[in-house]
């Protein structure tokens, strides 16, 4: 994750090893959502974030490691998901 996250930030969940087989890929790879709050228990803060994703019939809240979050400052920052490997 580049830069500091804070509640309200738009993020994209990005598995940096997205070329691995689909069975081993992060299920939410490529989804865009908003940071709700820091869920890190202990020190250092900012490692585990609650993120809400509005991609489906119901909003989905997930705990996501900061290593998989890319802060979105502009719509051009959103990456396209790779096609699934077979």
**70 inside domain:** yes
Count of the separate structural domains present in the chain: 1
**56 inside domain:** yes
**80 inside domain:** no
**37 inside domain:** yes
Q: What is the per-residue pLDDT across 23-78, written as a single tens digit (0 to 9) for each? A: 556 778 889 999 999 999 887 888 999 999 998 899 999 999 999 999 999 988 88
- Give a three-class secondary structure readout of the chain: CCCCCCCCCEEEECCCCCCCCHHHCCCCCCCEEEEEEECCCCCCCCCEEEEEECCCCCCEEEEEEHHHEEECCCHHHCCCCCCCCC
pTM of the entire predicted model: 0.78
Range of the domain at 52: 10-75
**1 inside domain:** no
């Amino acid at each position: 994750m580049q830069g500091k996250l804070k509640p309200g930030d738009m993020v994209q969940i990005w598995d940096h090893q997205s070329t691995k087989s689909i069975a081993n890929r992060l299920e939410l790879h490529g989804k865009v959502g908003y940071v709700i709050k820091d869920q890190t228990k202990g020190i250092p803060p900012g490692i585990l974030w609650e993120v809400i994703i509005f991609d489906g019939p119901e909003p989905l809240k997930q705990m996501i490691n900061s290593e998989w979050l890319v802060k979105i400052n502009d719509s051009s920052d959103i990456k396209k998901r790779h096609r699934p490997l077979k």
